[in-house]
Amino acid sequence: MRPLNGLFPPTAYPALLVGLNAPDDAAVYHLDSERAIISTMDFFPPVVDDPYAFGAIAAANALSDVYAMGGEPLMAINLVAFPDGLGMEILTEILRGGAEKVKEAGIAIAGGHTVTDKEPKYGLAVTGLVHPDHIITKGGAHSGDKLILTKALGTGVITTALKRDQAHPDHVETAVASMSRLNRDASRIARQFTVHAMTDITGYSLLGHGHEMAHLSNTDFEIKFDALNWLPGATIYGQQDIFPGGMWRNQEYFNQWVQFEGIFTEAQQGLLYDPQTSGGLLIAVAPEDADQLLAKLHNAGETAAVIGQVKSGNGFLQVANN
């Protein structure tokens, strides 16, 4: 998109509230004083073997962008790539997994498009709705805010271990449950408090998406390594160096904005750059609201934790291991 920015100057599209000035989880278009449309899409190849689970995960991942903007989805459209010769029963299960997850979100799949490709891919284009005054972007964190992460980390190493036939079934089951969990409840709860910024943690890892939030907010983030929750098996596979290729790309690019304080093993650093699929929400909340927000998230069944705080700065992340 960056090479095309000159074609769409923000001043020429004043109704496009989010999408041209700074990157965010979704585009937002102003309709009237009460409504703005959220538009997003995401799709990817299978991350697990079970077609139904893959469909559910991909759908939850696409819906998450709407929740991260503080909105509610209205409808979804299927995006499908599927190889010739692969059994239609597999495609049926992928679509069923996605459809049932969309139904869980309280909306319908209104259509879709399918192309032939060498590798299966599935996801959604999602349309949502948000009040123009209540949009939550990446770039609003305030110095002094507490950082809350709503899901445990580690989906990248676990799904990579699965691809290498090295994953324990219980670890895969827990990871699938986490990836399939909608961020709807966490977003709705967050909106009850003074939340200044929010994003979902996906392919750029905790540190990558954390940098995006910090940079767009003109702040630095302090993150405590020992405050992070990890999915069962994640640290084991990290110690075995079972990382997806995206981890190395994340590390190579985002390392310039990360400062490690204390002793970190290579595995611990790798886990922080591990690409996530359908991860949790990273929330910058006013400090006086943090404890109550965390308690409500826990009561709703979220694996949430206060993982750090925001301070004035220029987009850097200080990660401490004390």
* % of the chain with per-residue pLDDT over 90: 94
Q: Give the pLDDT band (50/70/90) at residue 2.
A: low
- Distance separating alpha carbons of residues 22 and 57, to the nearest angstrom: 27
Say which residue, 2 or 300, is predicted with more confidence.
300
Q: Pick the closest to residue 171 from 98, 233, 129 (CA basis).
A: 233
Please list, residue by residue across 98-133, b when 16 or more beta carbons sit within 10 angstroms of its beta carbon and e when fewer do.
bbebbebbebebeeeeeeeeeebbbbbbbbbbbeee
Q: Which tokens go with 75?
A: 């409808």
List residues bridging with 260 in a β-sheet.
319
The pLDDT tens digits of the residues spanning 64-88 come to: 999 999 999 999 999 999 999 899 9
pLDDT at 41: 97
Is-contact 302 229, C-beta < 8 A? Answer: no
- Residue 246 makes CB contacts below 8 A (sequence gap 6+) with 156, 203, 205, 275
C-alpha distances in Å from residue 312, one per residue of 9, 129, 141, 295, 316: 29, 32, 10, 27, 10
The per-residue pLDDT for range 221-234, each reduced to its tens digit, is: 999 999 999 999 99
Structure tokens at 135: 């949009």
pLDDT of 23: 82
Strand order in the sheet with 195-200: 195-200, 281-285, 146-149, 305-312, 219-224, 317-321, 258-262
The count of other CB atoms within 10 Å of the CB of residue 322 is: 8
* Residue 7: band (very low, low, confident or very high) from pLDDT cuts 50, 70, 90: confident
Q: Which residue has the higher pLDDT, 241 or 21?
A: 241
- Which ranges of 168-278 does DSSP label H, i.e. alpha helix? 169-180, 184-190, 205-217, 234-239, 245-254, 266-272
| Per-residue pLDDT band at 107 (split at 50, 70, 90) | very high
Torsion sign across C-alpha atoms 14, 17, 22, 26: negative
Only one residue has tokens 């390392």, namely: 255
**pLDDT on residue 322:** 79
Query: In angstroms, rounded to a whole number, what is the distance separating the alpha carbons of residues 167 and 161?
Result: 5
How much of the chain exceeds pLDDT 70, in percent? Answer: 98
The residues, ordered by sequence, that sit 6+ positions from 173 with a Cβ below 8 Å of its Cβ are none
Mean pLDDT within 253-266: 97
Q: Which of 227, 211, 235 is nearest to 318 (CA)?
A: 211
For residue 5, is pLDDT > 80?
A: no
CATH architecture of 137-321: Alpha-Beta Complex (3.90)
Single pTM value for the model: 0.96
Determine contact, residues 282/149, Cβ cutoff 8 Å. yes
| Chain mean pLDDT for the chain | 96
Per domain, the residue ranges of the chain are: 2-133, 137-321
CATH number of 2-133: 3.30.1330.10
Over residues 229-249, the mean pLDDT reads 98
Q: What is the pLDDT of residue 21?
A: 80
What mean pLDDT is predicted for residues 169-193? 98
